[in-house]
Structure 1
Amino acid sequence: MVKKAKLKKDAGRRKFKMHMASKDYRHITSRIERAAKIINDGHVRQVDVVDEKEFKHSSLNRAVLANRLGFKIGKVGRRPLLKLDKTKLMKDVMRAESLSGSSMNKSKINSMATNMLNENRDANQPILSVSRTFANSFLRVNSDLSCAKPKKLDIKRMKAACQQVLNPWYDLLQYLHDTHAYVEELIFNIDETSLQLREDWNGAVIFPSDLTPGFKQTPERMANATLVLGIAADGFSIPSVILWPLANVPDELKGLIGHKYFVWANKIGWMNMETSEKYFLTVLLPAIKKRRVSIGNPNARALLLIDSHSSRAIPSVWRKFAAAKVDVLTLTPHASEIQQPLDCGVNAIFKQSYNSEYEVPNATGIVLQRKSIARALPDSIDKCLLSKGIRNSFLKAGSLTKTGPAVWRKYPVQPILPPVVQSKPPRQYNGFNFFGKVITDKSLLDSWDRFNEAKSNGSQLQKDSDQEESQGSDSEYTDQ
């Protein structure tokens, strides 16, 4: 039986060689295309061609399929690419799209290339198409093109990026340094960065490198987890917290729980007041106290820099920080990219590392996705929390004593805005103004408590008034 099979293979290989040299197929210059044609004509089996070891199995499969569908193929069996004139035309179209304010994503490029391939197609010829990864190859080969994920034009951030907004905050920061002489080991910053959980989302667009893309993109709200990072100016890092959008921590992430990481489930996947209070009182404040002991000065004053997110509006927490001799300074609204150390380097390093480490599973399933995330997170967090990178982030943000002027002086005195700005009128803020202030100051905390009490009483009075009005209208209706 074995001998018979061997004889059959030998006969198939001889037959394949004969047809490859036949005048019926010699006009096909590409050898793999010639082999695919011979197989599809039924002269030999595909296994006979593979046994020759001239072609890779995967390449031969692609070539046979492409030949069967009527595609022209190259030396390794790939689908057709654009010629130089078509490539130039596509670049011209992309430039025109970018100048007009439109965006060109990878899907559009694949579609445009397919249309170009079929412009002069006869009605009896099969429809040609480029591969799904054509846009990636097109971008890689053409170095004069760029790919980026655009951010929405934020007028508030542009207005904050000027000396008249930044200077007062840096003056306040320097005043705190002069008054309390903080050591670098006790200057802290905490912030959150999101982990997108929809791996199929891609906001990248492609445009000519010499142009600033004129498109605008509104970010969509997606399910996400959150990573909370805490750092100190000397390069020290606090245990990180991963917030997962479920009622319970998934089994796949429990392996991360240890002395370097906490994994919490809070259903929404981002910081709210409840989660913030838990983090500040059970993770951050104990870490600060422990740090004081480790440097041999348990009574030293500490400084914490945080953004002005609504989840920070918990005056009861800041009273405990004040009692523990921790001064908490909130950042100027919409200026965190300038003033916050984590936003000046660490978060970007994490995102870059995480995006390269995280591998989208070949098979679908949330369990495989969680396992892949659990594999990517530790290395990515460790890379972004290297001591040198942390110290550089504090310097870049101007958070250390005497370093602020080097930051705010880089910006114009007045905000520079685009010639035509379509912005909505500012939203009326009804909460307590704790932005850009020392929120552990006793007088501010007292004012905050009075504000909350007045607001609570006002809400109750309004509620009582509404009830009386409702009861009055009911009685009038009854009398009638």
Structure 2
Amino acid sequence: MLKTKPSLTHVNATSDIRSLGDPHIKALYVHDILEYSERQIDESGLLKRSSLQRAIKARDNGRSIGKCGRPTLFDEAEELEMKQLFLDEIKIGKYPTKKYITQTANEMLQKKRNEGEECKSVDKHWTERFLQRHPEIVFAKPKALPIGRAAHSCRKVLIPFFDLFESYLHEEKPIPQLLFNIDETSTFFHKRKNDLVASSSSSPSLITPETSLPTATSIVFMCSADGCRYLTPIVIPYKTLPDEYKLATTSQEVFFPSTTGHVTSSSFFELFRICFLPEIIKKRIAIGEKHRHAALVMDGGVGHFTEEMRRLCKDNLVDLIKLPSHTSHIIQPNDQFIFANMKRVFARATESGQTTTASQKREVFTTILRDGLAAASYPSTIISSWKVTGLWPLDKSVVLKHLPENPPSWAENSVEPTKAPEGSNFGAIYKASDSDSSLFA
């Protein structure tokens, strides 16, 4: 009698294959020893075919098989060599930064590429895992902003805010058409590289600056949870507007001269009064909700929550929602895909190199700005940006599931207690129907 081949389900249940532990090792075993095909292994649910193929390739190249089936970038000797390099620098008082560790690893991979070996680049996630594997490497103390972000990017800070925001939604029952977010981002000319770069972007564009172009430009962007973008003020460092900027002003973008190109407390109030408040009122009328409260989400930036600003919002039925300190990179919609798409366009811009006169350069500059704003203004992009923050639709698990319960020990002292009535660190909500001094909680 011919013996039938055991099913993969039966094989997976046996003690021999259970002892192998790693699912990639199991898959290699049944593929090589028992001669099951990649398709059969995939259909059995033991391991996806793509993961098995990566595991086979890693094994054939003499590399270890990682948890996800991808080959490791460095072998054991190379990683120990890199570790020793950093330890030697620490002995002489030169503490590496995470960015330096990432750059050093990529330089080693570049040498491999020059030798004909295919290698991917490492990123910040690889660096985090490298430091976890080698806790004896003490990296340089981060600056104030990273410390603040590390201290406040935890459930201890964000759960109180989400509880407060959930209470507000339950009481006011706002609609997405009247749930707004305002934030500003900047572009500037890199003094060393002579390139226009987007703030927080690592990829500069190839725009050649000259004296007639702005050294800094602030873009103040407002969107709503239903996927709409509104009139966008662009603040540039000129005493009077050149003709190119006057002509570039449209129903979607408007240019404002400024001493420095940065948004100050007084200039933000004026921009809100002239540009954004009329847009909120117009939207309210358009949807037939003249007397419904609008909600405006903002971080604690300069001028966002002055008495003058709060009074103007109270008079126009706009509830102000203040995000917890150092958390806007997680729960502010504009800081998600919206600004990321905008900065990606800025970083890829190359048109300026083909122009010669100052007038032409200004025209190209306005075109690049407009292209960046267009990339940020897709309704699907705006809706997705609200969704990943957990603010609308309300779902705090979207954010909290990725965060630790408490801040790391080295940053814990940076978390300040709640300050009544402002609630500066854990967020605050100023309802237009409340008195000026009361905080809705």
Matched letter for residue 438 of structure 1: I
User: Is 1:321 the counterpart of 2:313 in the alignment?
Assistant: yes
RMSD: 4.3
Question: Which residue in 2 is equivalent to 1:446?
Answer: 437
**Distance in 1, Cα, partners of 2:386 & 2:178:** 12
SS at match of 2:254: strand
Deviation at 1:200, TM superposition (A): 2.3
User: Is 1:200 the counterpart of 2:200 in the alignment?
Assistant: no
**Distance in 2, Cα, partners of 1:94 & 1:374:** 49
Question: Which residue in 1 is equivalent to 2:120?
Answer: 144
TM-score in terms of structure 1 length: 0.56
User: Is 1:240 the counterpart of 2:216 in the alignment?
Assistant: no
1:230 pairs with 219, 222, 228, which one?
A: 222
Task: List aligned pairs for 1:381-396, cutoff 5 A.
Answer: 381-396=373-388
**Residues 226-235 or 395-404, more deviating:** 395-404
CA offsets 1:273-331 (integer angstroms, 9 cap, x no match): 12111111111111111001111222222110011013224212221211221111111
Bigger relative contact order, structure 1 or 2 (CA pairs below 8 A, ≥6 apart): 2
Asked if structure 1 preserves the Cα contact closer than 8 Å seen for 2:158 and 2:324, the reply is yes
Question: Which residue in 2 is equivalent to 1:286?
Answer: 278
TM-score in terms of structure 2 length: 0.61
Q: Gaps (5+ residues) in structure 2?
A: 1-77, 90-95, 128-141, 204-213
Task: List aligned pairs for 1:61-460, cutoff 5 A.
Answer: 101=96, 143-146=119-122, 154-198=146-190, 200=194, 223-361=215-353, 367=359, 369-417=361-409, 421=410, 433=422, 435=424, 436-440=427-431, 445-446=436-437
Matched letter for residue 200 of structure 1: N
SS at match of 2:222: strand
Deviation at 1:361, TM superposition (A): 2.4
Aligned in 2, Cα 1:394/1:364: closer, same or farther, shift over 3 Å?
same
SS at match of 1:303: strand
Over alpha carbons, which structure has the higher Rg? Answer: 1
Matched letter for residue 244 of structure 2: E
Asked if structure 2 preserves the Cα contact closer than 8 Å seen for 1:244 and 1:268, the reply is yes
Question: Which residue in 2 is equivalent to 1:474?
Answer: none
Deviation at 1:98, TM superposition (A): 7.0
Aligned in 2, Cα 1:367/1:170: closer, same or farther, shift over 3 Å?
same
The number of residues matched between the two structures is 316
CA offsets 1:321-370 (integer angstroms, 9 cap, x no match): 11221111111000001110111211111101221135452678765543
Q: Gaps (5+ residues) in structure 1?
A: 1-90, 113-133, 206-221, 449-480
CA offsets 1:428-449 (integer angstroms, 9 cap, x no match): xx9994632123457663379x
**Distance in 1, Cα, partners of 2:273 & 2:374:** 24
**Residues 364-373 or 180-189, more deviating:** 364-373
Aligned in 2, Cα 1:240/1:155: closer, same or farther, shift over 3 Å?
same
CA offsets 1:51-88 (integer angstroms, 9 cap, x no match): xxxxxxxxxxxxxxxxxxxxxxxxxxxxxxxxxxxxxx
**Distance in 2, Cα, partners of 1:314 & 1:386:** 32
Aligned in 2, Cα 1:446/1:432: closer, same or farther, shift over 3 Å?
closer
SS at match of 1:316: helix
Matched letter for residue 145 of structure 1: S
Matched letter for residue 171 of structure 1: D
Deviation at 1:197, TM superposition (A): 2.4
Aligned in 2, Cα 1:424/1:282: closer, same or farther, shift over 3 Å?
same
**Distance in 2, Cα, partners of 1:276 & 1:193:** 13
What percent of counterpart residues are identical?
A: 21
**Residues 288-297 or 357-366, more deviating:** 357-366
**Distance in 1, Cα, partners of 2:435 & 2:82:** 54
**Distance in 1, Cα, partners of 2:434 & 2:290:** 26
Aligned in 2, Cα 1:319/1:163: closer, same or farther, shift over 3 Å?
same
Asked if structure 2 preserves the Cα contact closer than 8 Å seen for 1:242 and 1:262, the reply is yes
SS at match of 2:353: coil
After TM superposition, which residue ranges in structure 1, 4 or more long, deviate above 6 angstroms? 91-94, 96-99, 102-105, 422-427
Matched letter for residue 251 of structure 1: D
